[in-house]
Amino acid sequence: MTELTNRQYFLASRPVGEPTPDNVACRDVPLAPPGEGEVTIRNLYISLDPAIRGWMSDAPNYIEPITLGDAVRSSVIGRVVASNSPDFAVGDVAMVMGGWEQYTTVPAGMLNKLDENAGIPLSLFLGVLGPTGLTAYFGLLEVGQPKAGETVLVSAAAGAVGSIVGQIAKMQGCRVVGMAGSEDKCRWLTEDLGFDAAINYRTCGDYRAAISEACPDGVDVYFDNVGGEILDAALACLNRYARVAVCGWISTYNESELPPLANLWQLVARSVTIRGFVILDYLDRFPEGIAQLAEWVMAGKLQFREDVVDGLDNVLPTFLRLFDGSNSGKLVIRIPE
Amino acid sequence: MTELTNRQYFLASRPVGEPTPDNVACRDVPLAPPGEGEVTIRNLYISLDPAIRGWMSDAPNYIEPITLGDAVRSSVIGRVVASNSPDFAVGDVAMVMGGWEQYTTVPAGMLNKLDENAGIPLSLFLGVLGPTGLTAYFGLLEVGQPKAGETVLVSAAAGAVGSIVGQIAKMQGCRVVGMAGSEDKCRWLTEDLGFDAAINYRTCGDYRAAISEACPDGVDVYFDNVGGEILDAALACLNRYARVAVCGWISTYNESELPPLANLWQLVARSVTIRGFVILDYLDRFPEGIAQLAEWVMAGKLQFREDVVDGLDNVLPTFLRLFDGSNSGKLVIRIPE
């Protein structure tokens, strides 16, 4: 390997509220050869997800916060350019929890090898066949426990996770209502994905009234991606024994002051279960989840949108689009070979 | 039946914040004879519980709000003084959801007959062998799902429900930590009831630090009676997959403005389940619960305190003691025959 530099976007300071360009800085460092048992990949795809905002904070979380000075953490897919492990050869493609950088070096055991000749576009393993799809699959089916005939409400429904949640809920025989931030997104939900109704939360006015109208029989399962005022409104519309599956609260990641949940009391009034989860809770069932998601994708039963942006240097502004709702579909940075 | 009057304490206005004497008024009304299929009981015991505050508000709840002008709703035990049903004779003793009044008239099917010669003081059917004990039993075992070796934290631990929760948790082999509002109460928990540790929340200072110190291995089950700041502190001390059983939030019943729960995010960070419940969820299992509680009481394994106050005219000031923590044990009004 000739002498190479590794461009990295690293956490320079922890965000208070919404991340700003000041929180992430760029540097070029010499690329060291992989150590004993390690492998270096040249990144091809970097996944941008709301969860990254959580890891930027120095607060207890399901995995360690990103250390200041480290490359911002992301799931990545890359091609092996140097290997010090018998398990990987130069040219192999693999997925790993890496960073916002050109090259990622990790112990071989952390890499998941992917078959680039299987006819599946690689980026799908970061989305519908990866963490995104698995979040929807286990969150809806295991945490939400939807039954045929029940009403499922999904926030951020046109997002990468929400759009899959809604389609799986339809396959379970549920009435599905999505909330999204534009008329275009709402139309996509009802006309293309088969949602029974969609609420444009930017124009609907009173959230609670809008949810009640779209869910005349009440809400049995609420898949919550956003928290805050929409969660509070949804709490007021729940049926007895309703389940709230919480995979993230993008509306409050950036709030230092959280809004009170005036309707959290409905928990007791309606015997509601609110359960937080991360896909790591279902690690031993990933093969089952991926196989089922792949079957649905191949059969055309599961549609998905990717929002692919070229160039590592676009990583920060692209990440920030998650917080203004301007992305449509799973956000991925591509670094062409 | 000679002409009798019925003294009633009725809901005159809905409380905003803590109930005041203005919210409840007294009247004497002629007592009508029971209608077809109805029975009139002369009340002997009236149960005073935090849940009554919830029913005073015109907000969605698990049962209908108390109608303005109606006697305040309570579980009561009384002796039949007039019966228009073949199922009840004058002199029988029965329990029912009645009111703050001398006489309660209801359809016979709503009454649960009690055997006053069974050697069990009647008032226990409002407490440890009634709604109070069943709330502790099902809330801890079904919602909390404690396992031997786990740590169970209980707020309002010297209260009617909390003191039973802690003792049942000890019987499950758990480490049990209680929070209570005085040194006397804390001593009672550790010296008489077998709690492993007790926190005086009035003097402990920072709640989160106090809970962390008393629960060095973290909290696996939090039985929450109070909500508010103590709930928020407990959320920060939970272990992965912890369960929070919520049966009521006395600290916030009286708050028009709720404090935000800054640590609710721990729900996702630790894959926590928060579940609200009412004992009506377990209606079909009441006989099992009462039998088990009675067995423990008879065997001396379950201690309980009653705080019995004589006289219907003391009902409102006695009820208000629930909110300043000055009661010790299950609050009951007795109306001597």
Residues contacting residue B37 through CB under 8 Å, at least 6 positions apart: B84, B85, B107, B108, B109
Whether residue A252 and residue B265 make contact (CB cut-off 8 A), yes or no, is yes
What pLDDT is attached to residue B324? 83
Q: At residue A3, does pLDDT exceed 80?
A: no
> Whole-angstrom Cα distance, residue A188 to residue A202?
16
> Whole-angstrom Cα distance, residue B113 to residue B169?
31
Q: State percent of chain A over pLDDT 90.
A: 80
The model's pTM: 0.88
**Residue A252: band (very low, low, confident or very high) from pLDDT cuts 50, 70, 90:** low
> Whole-angstrom Cα distance, residue B19 to residue B323?
9
What pLDDT is attached to residue B61? 78
Whether residue B62 and residue A270 make contact (CB cut-off 8 A), yes or no, is yes
What pLDDT is attached to residue A162? 95
Q: Which of A60, A262, A264 sits opposite B266 (nearest CB)?
A: A60
What pLDDT is attached to residue B290? 93
**A236 close contact with B: CB closer than 8 A:** yes
Instruction: Render pLDDT for A271-328 as a digit per residue (tens, 0 to 9).
Output: 999 999 999 899 999 999 999 999 999 999 999 999 999 999 999 999 999 888 777 7
Counted across chains A and B, CB pairs separated by less than 8 A come out at 102
> Whole-angstrom Cα distance, residue B133 to residue B294?
10
Whether residue B59 and residue A269 make contact (CB cut-off 8 A), yes or no, is yes
> Whole-angstrom Cα distance, residue B246 to residue B223?
6
Instruction: Render pLDDT for B196-255 as a digit per residue (tens, 0 to 9).
Output: 999 999 999 999 999 999 999 999 999 998 888 999 999 999 999 999 999 876 555 555
Whether residue A274 and residue B270 make contact (CB cut-off 8 A), yes or no, is no
Q: In A, which residues are within 8 Å of B260 by CB distance?
A: 257-261
- For residue B162, which of B176, B183, B143 has the smallest C-alpha distance? B176
Average pLDDT for B281-298: 93
Residues contacting residue A22 through CB under 8 Å, at least 6 positions apart: A12, A13
Instruction: Render pLDDT for A197-211 as a digit per residue (tens, 0 to 9).
Output: 999 999 999 999 999
Q: Which of A84-88, A257-261, B30-34 has the lowest mean pLDDT?
A: A257-261
- Using CB atoms within 10 A of its CB, is residue A262 exposed (0-12), middle (13-18) or buried (19+)? middle
Whether residue B236 and residue A60 make contact (CB cut-off 8 A), yes or no, is yes
**B258 close contact with A: CB closer than 8 A:** yes
Instruction: Render pLDDT for B47-92 as a digit per residue (tens, 0 to 9).
Output: 999 889 989 988 777 889 999 999 999 999 999 999 999 999 999 9
Q: Which of A264, A270, A282, A283 to mutate to test the interface with B (most CBs of B within 10 A)?
A: A264
What pLDDT is attached to residue B265? 80
Q: At residue B117, does pLDDT exceed 60?
A: yes
Query: If you average pLDDT over each of A230-234, B171-175, B247-251, which comes out highest?
Result: B171-175
Report strand pairing: A306-310 vs B73-83: unpaired
The chain A residue lying nearest B246, using CA atoms, is A268
What pLDDT is attached to residue B63? 85
**Residue A25: band (very low, low, confident or very high) from pLDDT cuts 50, 70, 90:** very high
Q: Which of A262, A269, A281 sits opposite B61 (nearest CB)?
A: A269
pLDDT, averaged across chain A: 92
What pLDDT is attached to residue B258? 62
> Whole-angstrom Cα distance, residue B123 to residue B216?
39
Q: Which of B260, B268, B274 sits opposite A247 (nearest CB)?
A: B268
Instruction: Render pLDDT for B252-277 as a digit per residue (tens, 0 to 9).
Output: 555 555 667 878 888 888 999 999 99
Whether residue B276 and residue A270 make contact (CB cut-off 8 A), yes or no, is yes
Cα separations (Å) of B240 from A276, B62, B145, B225, B270?
A: 10, 30, 14, 21, 4
**Residue A256: band (very low, low, confident or very high) from pLDDT cuts 50, 70, 90:** low
- For residue A226, which of A172, A180, A165 has the smallest C-alpha distance? A180
What pLDDT is attached to residue B157? 95
Domains in chain A and their CATH numbers? 5-127+305-334 (3.90.180.10), 131-280 (3.40.50.720)
Average pLDDT for B104-114: 95
What pLDDT is attached to residue A337? 82
Q: Which of B56, B258, B268 to mutate to test the interface with A (most CBs of A within 10 A)?
A: B268
> Whole-angstrom Cα distance, residue B77 to residue B122?
8
